[in-house]
Every structure is written in structure tokens, then in C-alpha cells.
Amino acid sequence: RVAKQTNPPAQVTVPTSPTSGETADDDQQVLAEVADSAPMMEATYEENLRNVNSYIHDAEAALKENPNDDEARQYLMEARQQKEMLYEMALDRSLP
């Protein structure tokens, strides 16, 4: 008789993200830079940040609900990359 070997379930880690307070602080710093250097663009960046934060929130919620969902993980990575690009664009604009 052969004993059946069972493997423990694989542990999947959900990528961590900054707390919403940290994110809001970072967003406010970026918006302050934009307001100083390109005040006409502040509302546009504010709206874009709101949209990307919503995208990140939705992707995090989907991944939390199903940690093995590779598509949700990909969406979260893409959303964070979009936010990073938005920050870079805003800060590049603020440089002399």
C-alpha cells in the first residue's frame, strides 16, 4: 500500500501597496508641484490621479478576493505603472 502524499497549498502573496494615507500624501505633493509649475494642468492631473487610484483600488480588491488571479495581478501592476508614469510626467513638467 502506497501512502498518498499531499502537498500543502502554495502560498501566494498579494503585492503590498502604500496605505491610502501615504498615497494621498504623495498625490498631494505631486499636485502641489503641478500647481506651482503649471497651474492650468492641476485639475487634469488631479482627475487622472483620481482615476488611476480608483483603478488601483479595484485591482487590489479583485486580487484580495482571489489571490491566485494572475489577470488581476497584472492589472494591479499596470495600474501602479500608470500612476508612476503620471507622477513622472507631473514632476518632469515642474522642473525648470
> Quick check: 73 pLDDT over 70?
yes
Query: Which pLDDT band holds residue 13 (cuts at 50, 70, 90)?
Result: very low
Total structural domains within the chain:
1
Whether residue 1 lies inside any domain: the answer is no
The half-sphere exposure of 44 on its side-chain side, counting CA atoms within 13 A, is 9
Q: Would you say the pTM of this structure is higher than 0.75? A: no
* Rounded Cα gap, residues 52 and 41, in angstroms: 17
Residue 49, domain member (yes or no): yes
Is 18 contained in some domain?
no
Q: Which residue range forms the structural domain that includes residue 67?
A: 39-94
Whether residue 11 is contained in a domain is answered as no
Residue 31 falls within a domain, yes or no? no
Average pLDDT over residues 7-21: 49
Lowest-confidence range among 10-14, 23-27, 32-36, 85-89?
10-14
Q: Do 27 and 49 contact (CB within 8 A), yes or no?
A: yes
